[in-house]
A and B are shown apart, each in its own frame.
Chain A
Amino acid sequence: GQQLNQSPQSMFIQEGEDVSMNCTSSSIFNTWLWYKQDPGEGPVLLIALYKAGELTSNGRLTAQFGITRKDSFLNISASIPSDVGIYFCAGHYNPGGGADGLTFGKGTHLIIQP
């Protein structure tokens, strides 16, 4: 099956710093998604990417769909305390559309030090 490598596994940063995390896939995807998960809750969609090369922003968050279709990154600018949580990349390859399950990365745990 498809494998996603997400890095880094964890990040310890100071408030106000920028953050960057990325995912690489063993095979091509046609959809990349970035979710945030707080403890005990479900993943919350941050950004969805549908086209190779696409660069999309959502407030302080920016994500890109890699041209090779095998990678994606997420950047967070000027981090704030509520950014703390686990960030997951996810994707799938489903050219015909429909109900394909997502493959998730192992997550990046973001910790902001006061």
Chain B
Amino acid sequence: EPEVTQTPSHQVTQMGQEVILRCVPISNHLYFYWYRQILGQKVEFLVSFYNNEISEKSEIFDDQFSVERPDGSNFTLKIRSTKLEDSAMYFCASSTDTQYFGPGTRLTVL
């Protein structure tokens, strides 16, 4: 059964550094998403992407964040200058109608 994959599973970085989180959505899906989940809290929407452009973004998705689909299979989330409060699980999802989630990347900012 096709699934969303994410790499790395765990990323540790120093505050102020740039990180890129990578996702491979399900191959026939057209819509792509990033969510985050701070430890012990609910899942929060960051951004959605369709037809090579951002479709919707939340107030969390500020200028420090960017997304890209650099080729036909990958979908990336870049955080330009990480802050301590960016530490969270980051989930990628993809859909045609129903959203399916990847296993997540645990980002730890020191």
Contacts and interface: CB of A to CB of B under 8 A. Distances in A.
Nearest to A43: B101
B43 interface: yes
B103 A90 contact: no
A35 B101 contact: yes
Interface in B14-69: 31-33, 35, 41-50, 55-56, 58
A101 interface: yes
25 contacts: A33-B98, A33-B99, A42-B101, A42-B102, A42-B104, A43-B101, A45-B99, A45-B100, A88-B43, A98-B55, A99-B31, A99-B32, A99-B33, A99-B48, A99-B49, A99-B55, A100-B55, A100-B56, A101-B47, A101-B48, A101-B56, A102-B45, A104-B42, A104-B45, A107-B42
Given A45-B98, A98-B55, A88 B42 contact: yes
Most chain B CB within a 10 A radius of its CB, from A40, A98, A107: A98
B91 interface: yes
B98 to A, nearest CB: 5
Given A45-B100, A101-B33, A90 B55 contact: no
Measured as residues with beta carbon below 8 angstroms from the partner, the interface class of chain B is 20 to 34
Interface string A39-51: 0111111001000
A97 B97 CA distance: 8
Closest A-B pairs by Cβ, 6 of them: A101-B45, A99-B48, A99-B55, A99-B31, A42-B101, A99-B50
Interface residues of A, number: 22
Given A43-B91, A99-B33, 5 more contacts: A33-B98, A45-B99, A90-B43, A102-B99, A103-B45
Interface of A: 33, 35, 40-45, 48, 88, 90, 97-107
A106 B42 contact: yes
Contact of B41 (A33, A44, A97, A106): A106
Nearest to B55: A99
Interface in B51-110: 55-56, 58, 91, 95, 97-104, 106
